[in-house]
Chains A and B, each alone.
Chain A
Amino acid sequence: MTTLSFDSTLDPILSRRAEIQKIASSSVKRRKTYSKIGIAVCLLCLIVACIPLLAIIGYTVAKGLPAWTSVFFTKNMLPEGIPNGGLYNAIIGTLIIDAIAIAITVPFGILGGLFLAESDGPIAGAVRFSADVLTGVPSITIGIFGYIIWVKNFGYSGYAGALAIGIIMLPVIMRAAETALRGVPVNLYEAGLALGARKATVARKVTLPVALPGLITGVLLAVARGAGETAPLIFTIFGNQFLQTNPSKPMEALPIAIYSYSSQPYNDLIQIAWGGALLLMAVILVLNIGARLVSARLRRERR
């Protein structure tokens, strides 16, 4: 109907329209085939990506669960060949080291977050940049830093491990705290100041409570990040076959136990390593899922 009855090639626009439509219809099959191939390749990539990721969780659960006996949780590590060893000392060591790291970094990180949220100058820029860079440097270098400033002077100890883990956790907490604190509505903050309250009081009574879910998310993510680190601990706490609850002495921790047992040629030790891997992975995934749930609730409330 639209094609007029006269010879359209005489009008430049109509002739161009005819030419373009001819090319478009003759190429449409090829273009759609390409499209289908491209989409199929992407979906294939998705499947390829999912296989190892599912395999690692599947294997860790399948191999780790049988290792979870009461002995595993209550007995210390024993040398190869001696039955009834567990990871009790490593679990306790991890708990103590991470607790110390949390105790130091949470207040420090939240104050740092307050600083970043309230200032925009070049110093804040430098702090923010340092935090971002520190989250990405190879964790082994942080372990070596802990070795240089602590172990060289005071020897291997749980404190040195907590220091290294703390340096890994700190920037995560700080940046998450900044984001959470910046999310607090400005009018709340200003209302507090308008009432004559001091900035510190407003921060304590208004900003921090409102930002609490965001702060919790940040801390959970930071702990998850720190708890899984192996390399920094190798250079700081050294490892210890026996139960050591004094953090000024060399200690054992879960990641180190997994690392050292995994390359042993003894099946019972390897089984314990799988059990430890499952425990560590489960704790970290629970922390991560918890962080997600808290921040999801936060988003719902904000709406």
Chain B
Amino acid sequence: MSDRVYRILLGTVGGIFVLILVGFVVAMATQGVPAFSKLGFSFLWSSNWDPTHNHFGILPFMIGTLETTAIAVVLTVPIGLGTALALAYLAPRRLRAPLGTAVELLAAVPSVVYGLWGLLVVAPFFRTQIEPGLSSVFGWTGLFGGANQGVGLLLAGVILFIMVLPTMVAISRDVLAAVPHDQVEGAMALGATRWQLLRKVVVPGARVGVLGAFTLATGRALGETVAVALVIGNSTHLATSLKANAATIPSLIVSTFGEATGTELNVLFTSALVLLVVGIGVNALARMFVRSVARSGAESVAVA
């Protein structure tokens, strides 16, 4: 094979790859757009989902997606950051590497396993222990109305939190550990306590990478499908309580796709398109953050 042919071959492979992404977006767009010509734009902010009467408002699912993601992120950011700091600087040295590996491996556990465990193990525990407790302590906030069912918005958010935690921890730990050692020594030599060192020097020094980790985790939470579908209860109504059943865009698609036809199918394609666009945006952003940090050191396996 001459050098010319070789270069053309490689270039073609690269080109095909870009075409896959372009084709992906185009295919999704062509299938997603007809819903607009049939329904206008109002279905995007209508909360009435009633396929038998041709009402296809997807607002409850967009809100459900945001709510579950928000629960996951609110829990993941502090706990993930704390865990990452512990793994990078604070835990006994002998435990750091094995615990770090364990966390990275857990990022690989399939989402359907998280869903199964969430539905069969965590949901009953939520119904009998967590939800009654939260209702009695925080009932006054109005966030915990309704029956204790186990499955619902809160459980979906918590399962998502557990799923994205390894991603958040693995990347944060790498960027925190990548803060140059001379910065650490500089702070120590000025009389900083360990906590001051972490708070004022290490965390700020790694903030862009941590932001990238946070964004990747958010992206993963937004798009997670089967685990959420199994534990959220799949209700097409707007949730009025954290204990209520709800649905997210991915869980709506996966639970209704089989029986959907006509306009409903178009709406599902549109929902998937929204998900794709948001997913691409969030990921492009995350990669920018992580890359600017990772340039100096190697990216961890977990990033890939």
Contact = CB atoms under 8 A, between A and B. Distances in A.
Instruction: Please determine if A and B sit in direct contact within the complex, based on CB atoms under 8 angstroms apart.
Output: yes
Interface of A: 24, 31-32, 34-39, 41-46, 48-50, 52-53, 55-57, 59-60, 63, 108, 111-112, 114-116, 118-119, 123-124, 126-127, 129-142, 144-145, 148-149, 167, 170, 172, 174-176, 198-201, 203, 221, 224-225, 227-231, 234-235, 255, 258-259, 262-263, 270, 273-274, 277, 280-281, 284-285, 288-289, 291-292, 295
A172 to B, nearest CB: 6
A31 B197 CA distance: 12
The prevalent SS among residues of B at the interface is helix
Interface stretch (B40-48, B76-84, B137-145, B179-187): B76-84
B103 A115 contact: no
Nearest to B15: A123
Given A133-B284, A138-B223, A140-B272, A199 B6 contact: yes
A203 B226 CA distance: 41
B147 interface: no
Contacts of A141: 24, 28, 223, 272, 275-276, 279
Contacts of B11: 115, 123
B301 interface: yes
A130 B113 contact: no
The 10 closest A-B pairs by CB, nearest first: A138-B223, A45-B82, A228-B110, A136-B283, A35-B195, A38-B195, A35-B193, A115-B10, A46-B86, A231-B225
B272 A144 contact: yes
B105 A229 contact: no
Contacts of A53: 102-103, 106, 162, 165-166
29 contacts: A34-B193, A35-B194, A35-B196, A39-B195, A43-B86, A45-B86, A46-B83, A50-B102, A55-B121, A56-B106, A56-B117, A56-B162, A60-B116, A112-B17, A123-B14, A127-B14, A127-B18, A136-B282, A138-B279, A141-B28, A141-B272, A144-B253, A144-B269, A172-B304, A176-B304, A199-B6, A200-B5, A263-B119, A288-B108
Interface of B: 1-3, 5-7, 9-11, 13-18, 20-21, 23-24, 27-28, 31, 78-83, 85-87, 90-91, 99, 101-103, 105-106, 108-117, 119-121, 162, 165-166, 169, 191, 193-196, 198-199, 216, 219-220, 222-226, 230, 250, 253-254, 257, 269, 272, 275-276, 279-280, 282-284, 286-287, 301, 304
The prevalent SS among residues of A at the interface is helix
A195 B92 CA distance: 53
A46 B284 CA distance: 29
A144 B225 CA distance: 12
Contacts of A135: 283, 304
Contact of B113 (A198, A203, A235, A281): A281
B172 to A, nearest CB: 11
B32 to A, nearest CB: 9
A234 B275 contact: no
A42 B284 contact: no
A127 B108 contact: no
A198 B3 contact: yes
Given A123-B14, A140-B225, A280-B112, A145 B195 contact: no
A225 B105 CA distance: 11
A140 B275 contact: yes
A55 B114 CA distance: 11
A230 B110 contact: yes
A277 B116 contact: yes
Contacts of A225: 108
Contact of A259 (B9, B115, B199, B301): B115
